[in-house]
Amino acid sequence: MGNIDLSIVIPSFDEEESLPILVKSIYNNLQNQNIIFEVIIVDDGSADNTWYEIVCLEKKYSNITPIKFIKNYGKSDALDAGFKASYGNYVLTMDADLQDDPEEIYKLYKVISKEGFDLVSGWKKKRNDPLSKTIPSKFFNMVTRIFSGIKLNDFNCGIKIYKRGVIDSINLYGEMHRYIPLIAKWNGYKNIGEKEVNHNKRKFGKTKFGMERYIRGFLDLLSVSFVYRFKKRPMHFFGTFGVLFFIIGFISVGLIVYEKINKISENVPLDLIRPVTDQPLFYIALVSIIIGVQLFLVGFLSELVIQINSDRKGYKIEETGDVKKS
């Protein structure tokens, strides 16, 4: 299986009408090209005859790998299963609804294989979607672009192509499929490109995604940002905030004690001096110290967990050839 040039991963959910057309078009576009490819179709718990169509396609065409989920797990899990079943030197993802144009597959393959990108994302510059999808998508892409520092116009585009190393370095869940470029960047794959692609109108059915996907998407953006930035050094996050809260509490206690000592030194009668426990600042200080200690302990325990599992390294060494001195 190591001689496969390209793996095409297609997550599908209730796409019985579009899959036969899509697969036929893929083979028509690639059969005369000088590449060896495979098609991996993941049935994400469809309720229609999608699985039946996939089985028929497997019998009709060569190099089709079918995967069936017992229920609908979501696009990220479907892509993850497809990635793990793929063998290609490059892996391309595309949606099953015919909006991603199969004619773009070989064009993307040529770009990534000849120009040395780690991944190339499609850009649906001219979208055939209603405003209810395009406007929220533009806002989502703008926020993700600012947050990640990656200059992509369309993080949501389903058609993307990756080097094998990028695929092997990631695990997907939730709505993380939108942030593969971000995860790849944090894993050291920073050579990210973009190519304008054709976007077709939907022919069958209706979109599987609503506005809730953007809410989940933003939450996953925060999640992936936290995990990938602090998974190696959780004390940097928890310890910093822990020390900050502890200092706030300690300073507050110092102010209370200083105020009481100052009044005593000025010979203020003790019955006129407000008890420490009657002051709201005392409880604020107490809570701050407790929170600070707890956050510090969480960071410390997280570091211990990482040390215990330190035999499973997360780094990857790039294969290099002979280096000649110039």
Nearest to 197 by CA among 119, 106, 136: 106
Structure tokens given for 97: 């609804």
- Residue type at position 246: F
Higher pLDDT, 325 or 245: 245
Distance CA 306, CA 232 (A): 7
Task: Give yes or no for a contact between 26 and 57, defined as CB atoms under 8 angstroms apart.
Answer: no
Q: What is the per-residue pLDDT across 124-135, written as a single tens digit (0 to 9) for each?
A: 877 766 666 667
How many angstroms separate the CA atoms of 281 and 273, rounded? 15
CATH number at 6-230? 3.90.550.10
Q: Give the list of residues 6+ apart from residue 136 with CB closer than 8 angstroms, or none.
A: 211, 214
- Distance (Å, whole) CA 310 – CA 181: 26
pLDDT band, very low/low/confident/very high, at 323 (cuts 50, 70, 90): very low
| Residue boundaries of the structural domains of the chain | 6-230, 234-308
Please state, for a pLDDT cut of 90, what percent of the chain lies above it. Answer: 40
Percent of the chain with pLDDT over 70: 81
Helix (H) or strand (E) holding 110: helix 104-115
Q: Is the pLDDT of residue 2 over 50?
A: yes
pLDDT of 157 above 80? yes
116's tokens? 């040395």
Residue 203 neighbours by CB under 8 Å, 6+ apart: 17, 18, 21, 97, 98
Residue 169 CA from chain centroid, whole number: 12
CA distance between the termini of the chain: 37
For residue 119 the two structure tokens come to 């991944």
pLDDT in tens, 264-278: 888 878 777 777 778
Give alpha helix (H) positions in 9-62: 18-30, 50-60
pLDDT of residue 4: 92
pLDDT digits (tens, 9 = 90+) for 188-222: 898 999 999 988 777 766 665 555 665 666 666 66
**C-alpha distances out from residue 265 to 35, 194, 260, 279, Å:** 89, 72, 9, 20
Q: Determine the 3-state secondary structure of 323 from DSSP.
A: coil
Read off the DSSP letter of residue 100. Answer: B
Q: What are phi and psi of 38, to 5 degrees?
A: -135, 155
Cβ partners under 8 Å of residue 11, min gap 6: 42, 44, 75, 78, 79, 82, 93, 95, 96
Tens digits of residue pLDDT in 71-88: 998 888 999 999 999 999
> Which residue bears the tokens 């990656």?
150
| Lowest mean per-residue pLDDT among 26-35, 37-46, 309-318 | 309-318
Span 77-100, average pLDDT: 93
Query: For residue 43, what is the DSSP state?
Result: E
Residues forming beta bridges with residue 116, ordered by sequence position: none
Which residues does 230 contact at the CB level (< 8 Å), separation at least 6?
A: 236, 237
CA–CA separation, 225 vs 181, rounded Å? 12
